[in-house]
Structure 1
Amino acid sequence: MITRIDTSHRASKLVIAGDRVETSGLVANDCSVGIAGQTRDVLAQLDALLAKAGVGREGLMRVQIWLADMKDFDAMNAVYDAWVGGVHQPARACVGSQLASADYLIEIQGWAQR
């Protein structure tokens, strides 16, 4: 059985299939806050979606990060490293990419296991 949560005409923000949990790409709600603020915003959204699936950060298996500009890599990592903590780090990839809007500095997608 597949459960889709926060569905729009184009995509679901969260899909649960058995014990597998996958989010769509998440971008900041407030784009005026710079890379650190956008990273915090997106990670808070990821936490909220994981909670809807009944899983916490310890269930994260993989995180995919897209940065509009790789010069933001260190500033993003400062926020990400504090968020992920020293335990249960997921596999991660981070690439530079043109995002859907010039206002978006970061997009994050997560995969978890319940």
Structure 2
Amino acid sequence: MSKQEIERFDVGARMSEMAVHNGVAYLAGQVPEDTNADITGQTAQVLAAIDKLLERAGTNKGRILRAQIFLADRADFAGMNTAWEAWVSAGHTPPRATVIAGLARPEWKVEIVVTAAV
């Protein structure tokens, strides 16, 4: 039995943005760059970052196996869903969990983690 290679993207001292192994892309939590945006804007930024990483892995949002969404404030659930529903591919909506969590930076309203088939 041979070991499958692990390809890592944007490797840093603390973490990588993505790892691909055995036909699956595992993304780190993606967060917004412009923290002045409202929840819908921050979510749209995060989803765009996810699109770019998935493209680098040779896959796309229609192949997401699961998504984990972390919200700083329960009141932002509807606004996050507005951006999410505009982004997901009809007929390919992935299993998803959404939790309220204290994020690493107080200005972040959302963080999203996805796993996708390559």
**Which residues of structure 2 form unaligned runs of 5+?**
none
* Corresponding residue of 2:17: 13
Give TM-score, length-normalised by structure 1. 0.98
2:84 paired with 1:80: yes
1:1-114 mapped onto 2 (5 Å cutoff)? 1-114=5-118
The structural deviation recorded for 1:57 is 1.0
Three-state SS of the structure 2 residue aligned to 1:87 is coil
Q: Which amino acid aligns with 1:87?
A: G
Deviation per CA, 1:21-78: give whole Å up to 9, x if none.
Answer: 1100111011001101100000000000000000011110001000000100001001
Please state whether the residue corresponding to 1:7 is helix, strand or coil.
Answer: coil
Query: Structure 1, unaligned stretches of length 5 or more?
Result: none
1:66-113: CA deviations, max 9, x gaps?
A: 000010000100110110032211110000000001000000001001
The amino acid that maps onto 2:38 is G
Larger radius of gyration, structure 1 or 2?
2
The two structures, once aligned, show a CA RMSD in angstroms of 0.7
Moved over 3 A (4+): none
Paired letter, 1:25: G
